[in-house]
Amino acid sequence: MELRELARYLDEAFREVKTLVERQEHEIRTLGAAREETGRRLDAATKRLDELAQELQAVRTRLDASEAQHARPVVGYTDAKSLGERFVESDAYKRYLEGGMTGFSAPFPVKSFFTKATLTSPLGTVPAYLFPAERLAELIALPDRVQRIRDLLPVNRTTTGVIEFVRETGFTNAAAPVAEGAAKPESSLSFEIVSTSVKTIAHYLPVTRQIIADAAQLQSYIENRLIVGLKLTEDRQILYGDGTGPNLSGIMTDPDIQTYSWSQGQPGDTKVDAIRRAMTKARVAEYPVTGLVLHPNDWEDIELLKGSDQHYIWVRVEDGGVPRLWRVPVVETTAINEGEFLTGAFSLGAAIWDREEAAIRISDSHADYFTRNLYAILAEERIALTVYRPEAFVRGVFDNPPAA
C-alpha cells in the first residue's frame, strides 16, 4: 500500500474509533451502560486501526533502512532522528505539505514555539540534534483535566450566530377548589425573549517551518496542548462568564439562579450535608438534579471526612468511571472557585451550542511570518451558552459551618 493511501486509511480509521468511543461514553452517561452493537463496532474499528498501524510500522522500517543506506556522514556525528521518526499522522497535515505549505491548512480536530538548541563542539556551534543522544519515545506532558463542564450539559449544533429563546420569568398559581357558580381564580404567567450570541475562544503559538517539516510528533503535541487550553477557558466561561463583550453569560453569574450557604444549615452540618440541602432547593423547584461541580480541595474534604471511630464516612463511588455524590455525577475541576459549588438540573437548565467545534489551522500569513519562515498554529472554537431555567441551578458557598 502506498504511503499516501495508508495515511488516508489511518485517518478514516482513527475518526471512526473516536466517534464510537464518544458514542459509547454518551450511552454510559445516559443509559447507564453501552449498547452491545456499539461495543461490537468499536472492537472491529479498533482491530482495523491496529492492522493499519502495523502496516505503517513496516513502511517506517523500510524508510529507516533506506535512509541509513543513503545517509551522509557528518564528521563524527550522526542524526539522532530518522526520517521515519519525523513522519506524521494527520491527513490534514499531509495535504498541507502536498500543497506547498502556503496559505491556511484544512481544519482538523485536536494538536508553539520550538527552537532547535545548539551545542558547542570541536566543529564550532552546531545544532544539538546532530548528536546521537538517547531520547525517550514520548513527550512528557503536563496534566490534562479529565472531566469537563460540558459533559454535564446537552450539546447542540447551530448554523447561526445568535440563539434566541423564550424564558419563563414568573408564575403565580392561584388554582383552588371552586364552589358551583363562583368565579374561578386567575393565575398569571410571564415570559421574556432572551438572545445570546456565539462567542469565539481562540489562541495561537508561533512555530518554525522546520518543525512543521521535520518534527511532526512535537507539532502534534503542541496542537493538542492548544486544544486543552481552549477547553480550560471554556470551562471557566461556562461557569463565570459575565456576558460582556466576547464573554459567555455563565451559569454562576446568572442573577436568577438559586443560592445556598453552608452557614444556613443545621448545627453539625458538614459540606456533604450542605450539598444535599442545596440539591433539595432545586428539587423543590421541580428540577431533578443531574450533576455537581466541585473544586478538588473541597472534594478532598468530602472524601476525607471521618466519624468518631476514625473510619471514613464517605467512600468514593464510581459508575462508569465517574465519581458520584448523592447519586449524581461529580465534575472535579479547578475551573470553579475553591469554596463554591454548583448543582442542579444541568440537562434541563442550560445547553451548549457548537457553531464551530474546536479545530486547528496553520498559516504563514500572520504579520511578517512569511519572511521569517514562521507559521502560526491557531486553535479556535465558536460556542454559545443558553441558560433556559436559572432556577434549575443552585450556587453553593462553603462559607462557615452552621453555628450551634
Q: Would you list the domain boundaries of the chain?
A: 1-71
The DSSP 8-state label assigned to residue 345 in this structure reads: -
- Directed axis angle between helix 91-98 and helix 3-31, to 10°? 150
CB-based contact 293:343 (threshold 8 Å): yes
Residue 69's pLDDT is 54
* 342 Cα distance to chain centroid: 19
Q: How far is CA 322 from CA 147, 152, 291, 330, in A?
A: 9, 11, 11, 7
Q: How far is CA 353 from CA 8, 150, 272, 291, in A?
A: 30, 10, 32, 19
Task: Identify the bridge partners of residue 168 per DSSP, sorted by sequence position.
Answer: 191
> Which run of H or E residues covers position 340?
strand 340-344
CB-based contact 198:162 (threshold 8 Å): yes
Question: How many Å apart are CA 97 and CA 203, to the nearest integer?
Answer: 23
Residue 63's pLDDT is 65
Q: How far is CA 300 from CA 137, 295, 397, in A?
A: 35, 9, 16
Residue 67's pLDDT is 54
Residue 257's pLDDT is 92
Residue 292, class by beta-carbon neighbours within 10 Å (0-12 exposed, 13-18 middle, 19+ buried)? buried
Q: For the chain of 404 residues, list the mean pLDDT of each consecutive stretch of 10.
A: 67 75 74 75 78 72 61 40 41 61 52 38 40 47 61 88 80 88 88 86 82 64 79 92 91 93 92 94 92 93 82 64 82 93 92 87 78 81 91 94 86
